[in-house]
Amino acid sequence: MRLLIKLTIILIITLTTQPLSVLASEKDAVSVIIEVEGDPEKRKEYLQTYFPYVEVVATYDKLFNGLALKSSPRNLTEMGSLDFVKAVHPVRTYKALSAKSKETAVTPYNLNNTTYTGKGVKVAIIDTGIDYNHPDLDVNYVDGYDLVDLDDDPMETLLDQGIPTLHGTHVAGIIGADGEEFQGVAPDAELYAYRALGPGGSGTSIQVIAAMEQAIRDDVDIINLSLGNSVNGPDFPTSVAVNRAVKLGVAVVIANGNAGPADWTVGSPATASKALSVGASTYPEKTPYLYESFLDKSIPLISMAGAPEWDFSRDYQIVSSNEDKLYGKIALIERGNKIPFYEKAKVAEEKGAEAVIIYNNEKGNFNGSVVNQQNPIKIPVAAVSKKTGQWLLKNLEEKSFYMDTKYKEVPSTIASFSSRGPVTVSWDIKPDVVAPGANILSTVPNGYASLQGTSMAAPHVAGALALLKQAHPDWTVGQLTNALKTTAQPLTSANGMLLDPTLQGMGLIRPQAAIQTDTILHEPLLSFGKIEQGNEQKTVDLTIENTTSQEQDYHFIIPDQEKGLRWLLPQEVTVKPHSKQTVQVKLDVTSNWIEEGIHQGYLTLNSGSNSFKLPYLFLNKSGEYQKAMGLEFLLKPFSDDTFVYRMYLTEELEHVAVDLYNPHTLIHEKTLFEIEEPVVGMNEGFLDEKEVEVSGQYKVLITLTLKDGTYDSYLTELEIKK
């Protein structure tokens, strides 16, 4: 049984305008985004005239045609009959993607091997805000807006406003810091900051879309989104906004997510088809691990943000954190949902612990943070998997248990936390490219810090695009982004084999090569989709652009023969000077002759001394991806007695059943709902309050009946509020 990642929906937001006496109280208020026909401004005027108790939080007319509304379900009831309302979307939660820190760090300007500085290029940072008073940022900071508090001050969240933030300032420094001793990738870029994520680095789709719209109005050239959620699939309306922004001529760079190393972990909005999605690469480094010689057991450690580097030269006893005194010992703690990592680690530190290991309470690895600028953790804190934690528990209970710290040399590769593709439903290859994202030094409020995550990789790419935009101001967004893809350097494993496309896309960006390229391959990541029949032929168009004043010839290297696969590649292609030519790349697949699942690799296209590696991917029949995700169950907008359920399905199914279980006894309570004719994409239905009957917190079992008659199931949690 696999775990279905729970998608949290925030229904109460902090956006306010002048209060109206008939507005709902904050505890009763809900927020929705409505998609409307016609002019949103006129629809806003209509609502303000005839429904004064409904607060219009935001108006979208650039990237999404609609309004964000706030009121109580009862106050909104009358709006259900309005003929101009096309659709109602829930308000989703977006977070600044978690990062972790180490002592050793890499400076972003290392990536800039060009003579360009991004001068005159406008870069929007949609994030937690920015410390525009930082001496390395104040020169390049131009303007901004706060979409959380609705004012012109996009400062990071301060301590007296809630959980303080630093994420946006770190991202901004990577892009365009310009200090005497520290510089970003594009130190002369013009920085525009939009605070869409509030205290603790959390915000909603209302704020993210509003920030993107404001950036478009401010005529920016590039938007950086180092944020996301955990749903691998189309995420409307945010992905609609991303794609429309690109069509309007703005490059949108998005962090791929920090849920690696498994496949299918890319999260929206990096799943948007037009997004330039970015994974994280590492520089060569020494990484610590624990070792027990008698059992020949090695345990990799994932360092947490805000803690010192794990650096020990002797062995230490590992004990439970429940002991009263932990002097000279490493404390082992289970991850929980109620107590923050910082508090767990601080208690252990105060008991005298030398270090802390926090093990997962569910399957797999995780990244965490113990950042606290006022009273920082002074001992190393690391994360391990649930399986590793249980192994440690078993051994420390049997005897005094000691482990050594050892180190291994790790060459430049894909960071373990970097989310992998492909995208469900569209089967697109993501990330598109990778950039440095491990141990990156940058600005934070009142100083500097080294953090890591795809949040740090994305702004390297945004900065690189600023360099290209300065070098080629007449290039389109397609030329700029595809030049970066075309010239990226694919990374290899220790034995010299190319890493899979789902890890790296086209590879590590190279700004100088992109600026000087004589060829641009448009949409060079070749996704052939899903093979569902016994024999299928798939075709992908590839456009080759010759940027030189000389005619250029191109030819494919025919891949080695594989059973079940036959490539139909064009013969030599000649492209005239400053011209484009589109060719068809065809693949015949006999699905019964090859294994089910992801098939991926690279095609080689040569031109003179240049050789381009084109990632390709197709899915044969099915794969190990979640077939159901993003379960929502809440009161229907504009109603106080009808519930709406939503669930995103990634393939054709016969039947879906959702059952509730008591979280303590695991006794079956009831079947909440069934979907008799499920469709690929978002499935929605309604239940009367009398049909629901129950309320509270539940374990939820989602059972799927597949087309072939087999079953799949996922476990999640759900809170039902009446």
Instruction: Name, in order, each residue with C-beta under 8 angstroms of 528's C-beta and a sequence gap of 6 or more.
Output: 427, 538, 540, 587, 589, 616, 617, 618
Average pLDDT across the chain, whole number: 87
Q: Which residues on neighbouring strands pair with residue 36, listed in sequence order?
A: 85
DSSP string for residues in 639-677: -SSEEEEEEEESS-EEEEEEEEE-TTT--EEEEEEEESS
Pick left, alpha or beta for residue 397 (phi over 0 → left; psi -120 to 50 → alpha; otherwise beta): alpha
Mean pLDDT of 136-141: 96
Mean pLDDT of 233-247: 80
Return the minimum-mean-pLDDT range out of 86-95, 140-149, 154-163. 86-95
Instruction: Name, in order, each residue with C-beta under 8 angstroms of 42's C-beta and a sequence gap of 6 or more.
Output: none
Quick check: is 167 catalytic?
A: yes
Choosing from 31, 71, 98, 127, which is the catalytic residue?
127
Q: Is the dihedral of CA 171, 159, 151, 65 positive or negative?
A: positive
* Edge-to-edge strand ranges of the sheet holding 535-546: 519-522, 535-546, 579-590, 565-568
Number of H helices, E strands in the chain: 12, 41
Question: CB 54: neighbour CB atoms within 10 A?
Answer: 23
pLDDT of residue 477: 97
Return the minimum-mean-pLDDT range out of 25-34, 318-327, 382-391. 25-34
Q: Which helix (H) or strand (E) holds 521?
A: strand 519-522
Whole-angstrom CA distances from 48 to 42, 43, 54, 56 are: 10, 9, 7, 8
Looking at the chain, the domain(s) classified CATH 3.30.70.80 span 1-91
Which amino acid is located at 59 in the chain? T
**Interior CA angle at 470 toward 468 and 472, to 5°?**
65
pLDDT of residue 48: 84
Choosing from 450, 455, 527, 607, which is the catalytic residue?
455
pLDDT of 13 above 60? no
Q: What is the pLDDT of residues 390-429, one digit of tens each?
A: 999 988 877 788 999 998 877 789 998 999 999 988 899 9
Looking at the chain, the domain(s) classified CATH 2.60.40.10 span 518-620, 627-720
Distance CA 148, CA 260 (A): 30
Q: Which residues on neighbouring strands pair with residue 649, listed in sequence order?
A: 628, 681
Q: Which helix (H) or strand (E) holds 546?
A: strand 535-546
Determine contact, residues 468/433, Cβ cutoff 8 Å.
no
Q: What is the pLDDT of residues 601-638, one digit of tens each?
A: 999 999 999 999 999 999 998 888 888 887 888 887 66
Residue in the structure block whose two tokens are 């008073």: 133
What is the pTM (predicted TM-score) of this model? 0.77
Determine contact, residues 583/540, Cβ cutoff 8 Å.
no
Distance CA 251, CA 311 (A): 41
pLDDT of residue 92: 65
Of the chain, the percentage scoring pLDDT greater than 70 comes to 90
Distance CA 407, CA 288 (A): 4
CA-based radius of gyration for the chain:
26
Between these two residues, 89 and 318, which has the higher pLDDT value?
318
Distance CA 15, CA 23 (A): 13
pLDDT bucket at 333, cuts 50 / 70 / 90? very high
Distance CA 253, CA 434 (A): 11
pLDDT of residue 121: 98
pLDDT of residue 584: 97
pLDDT of 22 above 60? no
Distance CA 384, CA 365 (A): 6
Closest CA to 626 of 702, 683, 679: 702
Looking at the chain, the domain(s) classified CATH 3.50.30.30 span 289-406
pLDDT of residue 452: 87
Mean pLDDT of 576-601: 95
pLDDT of residue 661: 92
Q: Which helix (H) or strand (E) holds 210?
A: helix 205-217
Distance CA 506, CA 491 (A): 9
Note the CATH architecture for domain 1-91.
2-Layer Sandwich (3.30)
pLDDT of residue 2: 32
pLDDT of residue 21: 29
Quick check: is 31 catalytic?
A: no
pLDDT bucket at 203, cuts 50 / 70 / 90? confident
Question: CB 578: neighbour CB atoms within 10 A?
Answer: 11
Residue 634 CA from chain centroid, whole number: 25
Outline where 66-146 has alpha helix (H). 73-76
Question: CB-based burial of residue 559 (10 Å sphere; 0-12 exposed, 13-18 middle, 19+ buried)?
Answer: middle
Q: What is the pLDDT of residues 90-104, one digit of tens each?
A: 666 666 665 444 445
Between these two residues, 613 and 9, which has the higher pLDDT value?
613
Assigned superfamily of 518-620: Immunoglobulins (2.60.40.10)
Quick check: is 455 catalytic?
A: yes
Residue in the structure block whose two tokens are 């168009």: 541
User: What's the token pair of residue 173?
Assistant: 């420094």
pLDDT of 4 above 60? no
Helix (H, G, I), strand (E, B) or coil at 200: helix
pLDDT of 458 above 50? yes
Q: Which residues on neighbouring strands pair with residue 682, listed in sequence order?
A: 648
pLDDT of 8 above 90? no
User: What's the token pair of residue 34?
Assistant: 């409505």
Question: CB-based burial of residue 322 (10 Å sphere; 0-12 exposed, 13-18 middle, 19+ buried)?
Answer: exposed
DSSP string for residues in 413-479: -B-TTS-----TTT-----SEEEE-SSEEEEETTEEEEEBSHHHHHHHHHHHHHHHHHH-TT--HHH
Of the chain, the percentage scoring pLDDT greater than 90 comes to 55
CATH number of 289-406, picked from 3.40.1280.10, 3.50.30.30, 1.10.1040.10, 3.30.70.260: 3.50.30.30
Which amino acid is located at 321 in the chain? S
Distance CA 632, CA 716 (A): 11
User: What's the token pair of residue 388?
Assistant: 């590793």
Question: CB 72: neighbour CB atoms within 10 A?
Answer: 19
Determine contact, residues 192/220, Cβ cutoff 8 Å.
yes
pLDDT of residue 76: 59
Helix (H, G, I), strand (E, B) or coil at 38: coil
Distance CA 475, CA 472 (A): 6
Closest CA to 141 of 116, 175, 107: 175
pLDDT of residue 268: 85
Closest CA to 40 of 80, 92, 88, 84: 84
Q: What is the pLDDT of residues 519-548, one digit of tens each?
A: 999 999 999 999 988 899 999 999 999 999
CATH number at 95-283+413-501: 3.40.50.200
Assigned superfamily of 627-720: Immunoglobulins (2.60.40.10)
Phi, psi of 66 (to 5 degrees): 180, -170
Residue in the structure block whose two tokens are 């994409």: 681
* Edge-to-edge strand ranges of the sheet holding 30-36: 55-60, 66-71, 30-36, 85-90
pLDDT of 457 above 80? yes
pLDDT of 23 above 80? no
Q: Which helix (H) or strand (E) holds 481?
A: helix 477-486
Between these two residues, 154 and 91, which has the higher pLDDT value?
154
Determine contact, residues 261/419, Cβ cutoff 8 Å.
no
pLDDT of residue 471: 98
Determine contact, residues 223/245, Cβ cutoff 8 Å.
yes
Choosing from 134, 167, 460, 599, which is the catalytic residue?
167
Strands (DSSP E) contained in 196-255 are 202-204, 222-225, 227-228, 251-255
